[in-house]
Every structure is written in structure tokens, then in C-alpha cells.
Amino acid sequence: MLVLAGHPDTMAALLPSGTSPAGWRRGDAVDAATAAVWEALGGGLVPWVLDVPVPPPAGGFWPRLVLLADAPTSPFDVLRGRLAHTVGTAGPLACLALSGHGFHGFRGREWLAAPGNLHLSTAVPLGLPASCAPALIMLPAVAVVDAVMAATRGAIRPGIKWVSDVLVDEGKIAGMLTATQVRGSNIDLAVIGIGLNVTTVPDVVPTPFVAAAGCLRQHAGGADLTPGDMLWHLLAALATQVTRLRAEGPEPLWRDYRRASIVIGRRVRVWDEGAAEGADPARWPPPRGAGLVVDIDRNLGLSLHGRREPIGNGRLAFEEVCQAFGV
């Protein structure tokens, strides 16, 4: 794997165990694709490069990893825009930012880039049928669950809150975005953004949708975790899930997503996206649906007891949290 950075002296803690930082060299003579990657993401800094031997499954899957001390703009947006063609021809790309500007979640909701946490954006050329689109929304959530369990040897067992939040003990530790580029009946490119709270609990205002934030260091088994630990476990988990999706289709991924769900068997309320954005819940419109979740189908449809049609999208809040907020 070729690692690129503008400040190599600050990246030693992110490198795999046993990697010598003495191997950094100026990236004046990199290939055209790598030069294009750095020009788009590097913020005008001089690139430094390091060849890092990484075992499978991450090794061999990710040919390039960009490490940014401070991203001038959202790497997720750069990967789905300016760099989409480069990734399509040169292969998967991962970019980790320690901090930065313009980070966001779904519908542009702000994501705070707290120090000590992971802000990872990846882009993977696929060539999969468009019917795999729901699986690509499930994929990063399942990968985060797998990565945390691997890093903590099962001591921390996260759960997935529909659609793509990951919680531990009701505190949100991760959120993610997936964007796809479709040509005809195929998905050419998937761009995935993951924010994972490793050492710092972001200072966010509680809402019925995110009642509390958390981080892995809060929990037994996570006290010694570092962003570097989680980076390599997460890259491995993403590589594993994409490889499995290509080989076996979306069914195994859906089973893992459903198994990790923490909404099945609980009472919830679901609002349409954008309908419940105001600060005063008393002024929100009625929810789109409410009741006991009995299942999640292969297209991420949420089945509520007594409701004929599943809910395909929206924002979910647990019933007891709504009551606590006076909604």
C-alpha cells in the first residue's frame, strides 16, 4: 500500500505496528493517478509517500491511503466529485482526516471532527447491479460493527440503529454516508464516509434521533484503543465486506445487518427526512409511522406491527426517547 501525507511526522501513530517512519520520501515522481489524488486532497502541501506492507484483507485491496492532518474540505465530496473518474480507472482509494472542514452527514447535517476520532472516506469502483444499492448502505454499518468487535476481541458489541447509525449502550459512536454513481443498470462507483468516535465524545446537542453521543474509550475493552488501531481494522472490514458482496451478492450482508439491528423488537417513531429538523419538537409534524418494529427487509424497508407497507426511509427515534424529550 502506498501511503501519502503532507505532514509525515504527525502520522506515525496511524501506521501499522512495526512500520518504520524512516521510509518516508518526497513524492515528486509518483504516477499520474497518485499525483491527481494528492492534487485534489492534499491542500497544496508537498506530498510525502511511504510504502507500507499490509496483510490481507486490507493489503492488496487498498492501493492508496491518504492521511490528512487537516482536510481543507470534505474528502467524501472530493471522492464523489473531482476524483470519481480517477478512482474508476486506478482502483480503490481511502482517505483519513484527523480534522478538517465541511464534514457532514446525510442531508448536509454537520459532523463535528473531534480530535482523536476517525473521519474516513473511501471510494471503490464496483460494476455491480443497481439492485445492490441497499446493500451498499448496509455495508459500512456492518463493517464498523465487525471492526469494533475485532479490535476489542468482542468486548464491545455495537448495534445498528436504522438506517446507518452505530450505537454502544444507546450512545452513538459512528455515523456513515454512502453515495453511488450509476450507469445504466450498474453501480460504477461507491463512495463511503464514516465518522467513528474512538477517544473523544463530540459535543453535540441531544435530540430524539441522537439522544447521546459516545466513544469507544468509554467502554470496557476500549480503554486502550487508538485511532490507528481502528483505522486498520476498519479498512480490513470494509475490504472484506466489499469482496463478499462481489462474490456472494447482498444476502449475507443483509443477514449481518439484521442480526446487528437494535431496532427490531422495539417501539419507534419515524419521521420523513427533513420534516423534524426544528429545535422545538412540539412543532414537528406527526411521524410518518409509529409502532413496534417487527423486521427489516432486504431493501432496508422497516416493517411496523399492523402496518401493511414497510417504511423505506426516514429518521427513527425510539419511543422511550421521544417520551423523555416530551415529544
Query: What pLDDT is attached to residue 107?
Result: 67
For residue 13, give the nearest of 69, 56, 54, 61 by alpha carbon: 69
Query: Domain-by-domain residue ranges, the chain?
Result: 2-260, 267-324
- Give me the pLDDT at residue 111, please: 72
* Among 74, 49, 75, 79, CA closest to 64: 49
Q: Provide the 3-class DSSP secondary structure of residue 120.
A: strand
Question: What is the model's pLDDT at position 279?
Answer: 67
Say what the pLDDT of residue 315 is: 95
Residues with Cβ within 8 Å of residue 1, at least 6 apart in sequence: 51, 52, 53, 54, 58, 59, 62, 63, 64, 65
Name the region of 34 (left: φ>0; alpha: ψ -120 to 50; beta: rest). alpha
Residue 283: CB atoms within 10 A of its CB come to 8
- CATH architecture assigned to 2-260: 2-Layer Sandwich (3.30)
Render each residue's pLDDT in the chain as its tens digit; 327 residues: 999 999 999 999 999 988 888 899 999 999 999 999 999 999 999 999 999 999 999 999 999 999 999 999 999 999 999 999 999 999 999 999 999 888 877 766 777 778 899 999 999 999 999 999 999 999 999 999 999 999 999 999 999 999 999 999 999 999 999 999 999 999 999 999 999 999 999 998 899 999 999 999 999 999 999 999 999 999 999 999 999 999 999 999 999 999 999 999 999 999 998 877 766 777 889 999 999 999 999 999 999 999 999 999 999 999 999 999 888
